[in-house]
Each structure stands twice: as C-alpha cells, then as structure tokens.
Chain A
Amino acid sequence: MLKVEGLHTYYGRAHILADVGLEVAQGEVVVLLGRNGAGKSTTLKSIIGLVPPAEGRISFRGTSIAGRQPYEIARLGLGYVPEERRIFTELTVDENLEVGRRSANGTTPVWTPDRLFVLFPNLARMRERAGSQMSGGEQQMLTIARTLMGNPACLLLDEPSEGLAPVIVEQMADTILELKREGMTVLLSEQNLRFAHAVADRALIIEKGRIRFAGTMAELMANEAVRTQYLRL
C-alpha cells in the first residue's frame, strides 16, 4: 500500500533522514520506534509532503507521491495525524470534523460524525465545545477523528500516546486495534514500547535518521540487544 525507498530529507543543511526505506501492506499496523530526534516525525512529514524530501521514491497505492503538495497526497487517501495534535482551537468539535471531511473513494469505510462518535464516545458529549476547551486526551481523539473524516485508506499517526494519561493510552490502543479490524492500514511513530507492542504487527527502529532494525513485533520483543542499543534511554 505504502512504499518508501531511499528517502533523504534535510532541514537547511542538516541531514535529518538518510536512505530511509519502509513498506506497509494493506491492513497492517507498522510502528516506527526511536528516541527523541531520531527522525520519526520527519519520516511521516516527508511522506505527507509537509517537509518535502530532497531525494527518494514514495509510492502510495501505486502512485508516486514524492514532491507533491500535502493536499494532493491527502486526497489520494493518506491521512496524517500530527504529533502536536494541531486541532483548530477556536473551532468547535463539529467544525473541526467538517474541515477534515472529504468524500469517500469506494475502497474504505465511510466515516461520518455519527460513526466517529461511536468510536470516540467522549467527543459525542462536546460537539459544540471549542477545541481550546478540551483536555489533551480529548484533543488527541479529535485529531484522529478529524483525519478519519477524510476517509483515508492509510493513517500516519505521529506519537499518538505522547503526553496522555495511562488510562487514555489504553483507550488509544483499543481505538487503533478497532481501526485495524475495520481494515485500516496504519503507520505510527512511537516511543512507548508497551503501546507499540499492544497495537503493531511489525516494527522499524530509526536512529540518527537511518533505519537500524526491521522485523515483526515478536522479533523485536525477543531481541534484547537491539532494544537496549536503540530504545533504552
């Protein structure tokens, strides 16, 4: 579904991503693990086009998307959920969802506000509330719901568990598993190994802008050495 090869990204002259490659198959949940500043967010931003890569091929459902505008990439069915949540603080929950709304393109389930409120019951109780009046967990739910309104075929989730209370993290994991059951393809970045273990089929480890490990989640859990080298703080 999503394939990245030889991706190089720079901020000014700083080389952030070097030869990053990854692949996500239909219906799969893949996690990109790594420490702060390893290049996780940049990888996702390069894919969605917010930080245009200098080099590399990115194809999504057979279409080459490297170098395209973010809105064009999003319209092809790639949904991006940013790390900082970036909900529209002065818009209500309903209005935030409205901004994300795009018509379905056949292959994916059709998300409506009503279906999303089943998935995120908290949001149903605050449809008229302004984004700035919501808690961090509620904002995180809203930002995912907002992206789902575009009926994407694949989700890019940037650190969905970051800064959330443990009970909300569990809800978040359930939500992702629910989306997987619906047939959603997910590429997420994470620092929380437990959370990643709960949701992901496969794992990639990125360190200093290079992919250092790729394998199934079970392989990573069995490989103490890799975890110590790249993930332990």
Chain B
Amino acid sequence: MDLILIQTLNGLASASSLFLVASGLSIIFGVTRVVNFAHGSFYMLGAYIAWSLVSRFGSASALGFWGGVLLAALLVGLVGLLIEIALLRRIYQAPELFQLLATFGVVLMVQDVALASWGPQDLLGPRAPGLRSFVSIFGNRFPTYELFLIVLGPIVLGALWLLFNKTRWGTLVRAATLDREMVGALGVNQRLLFTSVFFLGSCLAGLGGALQLPREAVNLHMDLSIIAEAFVVVVVGGLGSVTGAYLAAVLIGVMHAFGILIFPKITLVLVFLIMAVVLIVRPHGLMGRKPSLVQQGATMREPLLSPATREIKLLGAAALAVLAIAPLLLGNYGVSLLTELVILTLFAASLHFMMGPGGLASFGHAAYFGLGAYGAALAAKWLAAPMAAGLLFAPFLAGLAGVVFGWFCVRLSGVYLAMLTLAFAQIAWSVAFQWVELTGGDNGILGVWPAPWAAGKTTYYYLALVLCTALVLALRVAIFSPFGYALRAGRDSPVRAEAIGLNVTRINWLAFIIAAIAAGIAGGLYAYFKGSVFPTYMAISKSVDALLMVLLGGVQTVSGPIVGAFAFAWLQDWLVRGIAEYWRLVLGSAIVVLVLAFPQGLVGTALRWRGRSQDDDVPAEAVR
C-alpha cells in the first residue's frame, strides 16, 4: 500500500517536468504546425544554463537558486526566439518533413555548442534551498522538492488555461490554431503571434530542464531522451491540447514509476505500449481532434513521380557499369566505402518507397534497418546460423516489426505518423539497449562474419551490389505497377481512392511492410559487412541519416534517393575524416543550409533547372 502511494507520487513528480516540456511542444505545434525536434535541446539548454547561473549566483540562497532557474528559462526562451526568427520563419511553408529535419539540424548544433561550453562530463546540480528536507509519508521519506514538482504541474496547467482562455492573446492563439490565414485577414500580425508562441513554448522547455537540476545530473543525452518521451506525451494527449498533454504526462509518469518496480528491464517499452493502447482507442490522442481539412490544404502538393527518361536509364546503366568495374581500380578502403554506399542506397530506397509514392514519412526507419542487422546477428550468435540463413532471418524480423508497428502507423498521417514511427523506433532501440542477456546491450553482438566464400572484401562487395541493385530495381518496378498507382492515389486523395474501392489503409500497410523488409535486408547485409551490430544502428540519428539521403536526393524521383545516398555518404565521410571534432555542428549547419537552399532536394532542383518543373501541367481546376 505504502509502496503504491510512494510510486504514484514519484510518477506524478516526473509527470510535472515531462508536462512542462510536452506542453511547450504542443503549443508550438498547435499554432505553427511545426514539430520542433529542437525542443529537447531547449530542455537540455535550460538545465545547463541553470547549472551555470545557480553556480554563479550561489545555490545556498533562495534568490540565487530560483532566480537562476527562472532566468535560465527566459534565456532559453530568447534562444528559441532567435531560432524562430532566423530559421523557422523561412520554412513555415515547406513540407513538414523538411521542418522536422531543419530542427534536427538545430539539435545537432546545440549538442556541440553544449559540449564546447560545458564539457562532456555529467554536471551535478545543487539541491533547492528551502526544499532540501524530506517529509514522512506512511513512514517513507519523500523529498519535499518532489512534492513541490507535483504541485507545480497543475499550477502551470491552470496558468496556461487562464492565459489561453481569458486573455486576448490566448484567444488569438487559439484562433490561429484553427485558421491562421483568416486571423491574418482580420488584421492580426501572425509573425508576431508565432514568435511569441515560440518564445513561450521554449521558456516552458527551459523551465522543465532547469527544474531537473536537483533531481538528476545534467548531461549531453538529455535532449534526445526527453524529446522521444515528449513526442509520446503529445501524441497520447492529442497534438495541440495542453490539458491532454497533462493527462498523458501523468499517465506515462505513473506507469513508468510502477514499471520500474515490475519490469525494470522494459520500462521504455511500457511507455510505448501505453501509447499504442491509447492510439488504438483514440487515434488522435486523449484530447485531440481529427485535423481539419482546411489546414491540410494549406500544405504543399505532393510532387509527381516521373518515370525515368531514356537518358536517365542510360546514365543509370553507365553508373552500374562503373560500380561493377570499380573494385578493379580501387584499394581496400575504396571497396569498403563502396560496399557501405551500396547498402545505404537500398536503405534510402526502402524509405523512399513509403515516403515518396506512399506519402508515409517515417522518422524511425532505422528500426527496420537495425532489426535486420540484429536479425542476422542474433541468428549467427544464438543459432550459429550460416550467412544465407542470417540474411533470410534479417528481413523476417524487420518485416515482422513492419507488420506490427505498421498496423498502428498507417492509421495516422503526416506529423502524427512521423512521431509514431519515431516512438516505435525508440522501442526497438530500447529493447536492443536494455535486454542485455539477448542483445549484449551497449556492447552489441560481435563476430557476425560472412560465409567463407563471401569473406573477401571484393566478393562481399559484389554480393551486396547484386542484391541491392536487384532490390532497388524491384522497388522501382513496384512503384510503376498498379500497386504503386494505388499507393499514390491513396496518398493524393484518400477519400477519392476509398470511393473507387481501394483499401487505402491496407495498401499503406503493405507498403510499410515492403519498406521494412527492404530496410531489413540492407541491415542484414550491413551486419555481415561490419561483423558486428550495436543499438546505435536503430538510433534516431540513423533514421535521420536515411531521411537526409532521401530528402537530399529529392522525394519526387526514383533516382533521388540513390543520388542522395551517395551525396550523403560522401559528405559524412568528408566530415568525419576532415573535422573529427565538432562534426555535429558542421553537419547540423549543413542540414539547415540545405533545407533553406534546396527545399526540393538535389535531383528536384536539378530537374527544376532543366525546366521539367512539376507546375507544368497542373490544371487550373485542381488548385482553385
């Protein structure tokens, strides 16, 4: 009985800080329609800045501590303000995924800025003055600071409610959430409104981070760990709903606290299971509503997928010929690099298959790549399976995950889908990370070697080249098959596609599974290529790599992801070898610049220059 009470209180305390972050994310999304990946970075910055300020002001005095915490929240708000003005303002009209990607660029940049400013070691924060003691609850000692946090959550919720319901600013913000164009036509300066909302949301994230100071050490991984949980809270609560965010934060905080008691190994999985259950019952979250059609109409039209012209086919054949004779000209390093490239190309093409024709933008595609790699590695480690069997088990495991995860994901669309795929990828990652007995945890699985006949670097290269080329071509054939047309019909107009008898959900599900299987094969090949697998194969950054490859190349052509994979691998190789330190800062800036400069991707921009613009044959009726 006591234990239940104490764990409930623990859960409520963590729910409060989670709520602060998630409510900021939700408010920003509600008005600007941007899912701000950098929100976790604001949280981390809040913690770091508060640590510095409190250290300087002196943590003994109440003014020093609380003043430092509040000032940190305001400073983070200012950082958010600057990012909104410098970056987001320019990409409000860009496709959702580009916005996510640009804010992920900010995540990378902030990581290196924090590393340079505060160093790699964990920083221990001071206790809060006045709240250092414990209270006795049924004979258990419970920290007063935790009680303070429990009370703070509802207070912030109430304050936000008053702000949104009882002030003119709040009314304007709610109106802009529903129809921002109309708000502008009524004489309201939206830019100012957006900037102020972004400031508020960033302040909340900064406050959430600053208040963690007495609870946990400040470290460089706070950003991504909180953002995944905040995404879950926002999706479960309903995007744009502050009350929903609170309910979801409490639900997840409390379940988490109990999960630690019951299944300490799979606490992260538990969080995502709750999400799955809620989304089955209420697809748009506890307090969420179906997004209105007006807002969807405001986003960009999906680009047309054009079949390759004769020249491009010849170019492709020539490129393949070059790849086929390349090992004769290159040394060992070159062959290794090319092998990796060929595998990455299949990975990118598999993501493109669901993203381009399917319109299913996945932010967690690395899960299927990683599961493929683990499939091969587990088969090798536990079953002593030969390579051929491992390469079969890889797509099987990835495909199985595609069946299960996909079932949930295809019921959502747009950013909801992107956030859900990310959450599932985090489940897969946490299983690989936490289930040490099976997967070796952080140490990974070593000794995944190819069969003796394929052990030579050149032989393995040819094996990868043949398999990947065949699969990329197969995906291409599928895109221009009746299945591909049905997929695109579902993407462009789900309602009309349903009306002519297409089961859009099932078609999308199938596309999801195919993409997962293809990614799984890429992962299996990668495992045998590297000889080892690690949880990082499923990390968020790996999913972003895939997205970068597809978006770099451009979504609207089949050759786009191939070009993108090569461009990306070259860029990364150059970054890692050229500037080992602070490569994140450079990569992050590169992403931001690319999004600002090439909203169409490389191939798309090239096509535009050639005048094969997609605007050419849009009938007037379609856009009116």
Contact = CB atoms under 8 A, between A and B. Distances in A.
Given A71-B184, A71-B187, A82-B185, A99 B175 contact: yes
Interface in A39-54: 42, 48, 50
A71 B188 contact: yes
A71 B186 CA distance: 6
Interface in A115-134: none
Contacts of B623: 11-12, 14
Contact of A95 (B171, B186, B187): B171
Interface stretch (B64-72, B507-515, B613-621): B613-621
Interface in A17-56: 37, 42, 48, 50
Interface string A93-122: 001101111100000000000000000000
Nearest to A150: B187
Contacts, number: 79
Given A11-B623, A11-B624, A99 B189 contact: no
Interface string B165-181: 00010011011001101
A75 interface: yes
B182 interface: yes
Given A12-B623, A74-B186, A88-B179, A99 B172 contact: yes
A86 interface: yes
A166 to B, nearest CB: 28
B469 interface: no
Interface in A69-84: 69-71, 74-75, 80, 82, 84
B190 interface: yes
B178 A74 contact: no
B173 to A, nearest CB: 10
A147 interface: yes
Given A11-B624, A91-B171, A91-B178, A147 B186 contact: yes
B352 to A, nearest CB: 25
Contact of B620 (A11, A69, A82): A11
Report the interface size class on chain B: 20 to 34
Contacts of B186: 71, 74, 80, 99-100, 102, 146-147, 150
A13 B616 contact: yes
B183 interface: yes
B187 A74 contact: yes
A64 interface: no
Candidate in B178, B185, B621 with the most chain A CB atoms within 10 angstroms: B185
Nearest to A80: B185
A91 B187 contact: no
Contacts of B615: 12-13
Contact of A69 (B174, B184, B621, B624): B184
A17 to B, nearest CB: 12
Contacts of A63: none
B621 A37 contact: yes
Interface string B184-224: 11111110000000000000000000000000000000000
Contact of A74 (B168, B172, B175, B185): B185
Given A91-B175, A98-B168, A14 B619 contact: yes
A174 interface: no
A86 B179 contact: yes
Given A11-B620, A90-B174, A91-B178, A99 B188 contact: yes
A171 interface: no
Interface residues of A, number: 32
Contacts of B616: 13
Contacts of A89: 178
A48 B185 contact: yes
Contact of A75 (B187, B294, B620): B187
Candidate in B183, B615, B620 with the most chain A CB atoms within 10 angstroms: B620
Contacts of A86: 179, 182, 294
Candidate in B171, B619, B621 with the most chain A CB atoms within 10 angstroms: B171
Nearest to A97: B171
B618 A13 contact: yes
B185 A50 contact: yes
Contacts of A96: 175
Contacts of B190: 71
Contacts of B179: 86, 88
Contacts of B175: 88, 91, 95-96, 99
A199 interface: no
A50 B621 contact: no
A86 B395 CA distance: 49
A2 interface: no
Interface in B396-441: none
B456 to A, nearest CB: 54
B187 A82 contact: no
A221 to B, nearest CB: 30
Nearest to A39: B624
A99 B183 contact: yes
Contact of A14 (B183, B187, B618): B618
Contacts of A99: 171-172, 175, 183, 186, 188
A14 B172 CA distance: 34
A4 interface: no
Contacts of B188: 71, 99
Contacts of A69: 184, 189
B599 to A, nearest CB: 16
A16 interface: yes
Interface in B583-624: 615-616, 618-621, 623-624
A12 B182 CA distance: 22
A110 to B, nearest CB: 16
A214 B620 CA distance: 26
A70 B185 CA distance: 5
30 contacts: A11-B623, A12-B618, A12-B623, A13-B616, A14-B619, A14-B620, A14-B623, A16-B624, A42-B624, A48-B185, A50-B181, A69-B189, A70-B181, A74-B185, A74-B187, A75-B187, A86-B179, A86-B294, A88-B174, A88-B175, A89-B178, A90-B174, A91-B174, A91-B178, A95-B171, A99-B183, A99-B186, A102-B186, A146-B186, A150-B187
Given A37-B624, A71-B187, A150-B186, 5 more contacts: A14-B619, A48-B185, A74-B185, A86-B179, A91-B171
Which 9 interchain pairs have the tightest Cβ spacing?
Answer: A14-B620, A74-B187, A11-B623, A99-B175, A70-B184, A88-B175, A86-B182, A12-B615, A70-B185
Interface of A: 11-14, 16, 37, 42, 48, 50, 69-71, 74-75, 80, 82, 84, 86, 88-91, 95-96, 98-102, 146-147, 150
